[in-house]
A and B are shown apart, each in its own frame.
Chain A
Amino acid sequence: GNSVTQMEGPVTLSEEAFLTINCTYTATGYPSLFWYVQYPGEGLQLLLKATKADDKGSNKGFEATYRKETTSFHLEKGSVQVSDSAVYFCALDLRSEKLVFGKGTKLTVNP
């Protein structure tokens, strides 16, 4: 079946450190891929997305590239801030009736 695997957390970084959160997927087709972010006490909101192979999604300094050959969509940011502390979810949509989510990775950024 369709699934998303993302790196286990929690991840703790110092401000201005480089961030990578790995995400790989299994899908019977060509999904759209998403990263959602959940700030403390809030609902999820879309961070970025990519709809086809080699697309790069970017927003707020975060980037992720849709890699079909490695079935991956890793999230990166060159210099994290305290305000980036949140839970990050990788997800795929295969033109079905739902998003398939990974289990989430909690990021804590210390000053």
Chain B
Amino acid sequence: AQKVTQAQTEISVVEKEDVTLDCVYETRDTTYYLFWYKQPPSGELVFLIRRNSFDEQNEISGRYSWNFQKSTSSFNFTITASQVVDSAVYFCALINAGGTSYGKLTFGQGTILTVHP
């Protein structure tokens, strides 16, 4: 069975602070994909990143960066110099890359990030 744990239920920071959202996963599969999604107050799901299990290189996209460590089964997400518009719920998700997995994502519980001005 697959499991995604986001231990931080809520995080509150002041604008311009850096913040890291933790994600730990469990899977028996050797090939899988990891995702981060953002859900702003308006409710839609915004795709942020997909990373496959063979690629452990860290990735940076503007103020966002992701640290994938297979050894600790973690896929953490850092926002540098946070802004009020970053306030949202962030979800980490996992999917088996095998032929029968199709679109059956396993989501974490989400972390509510509030950035105060």
Question: Are A and B physically bound partners?
Answer: no
**Which of B's residues lie within 8 Å of A, judged by CB?**
none
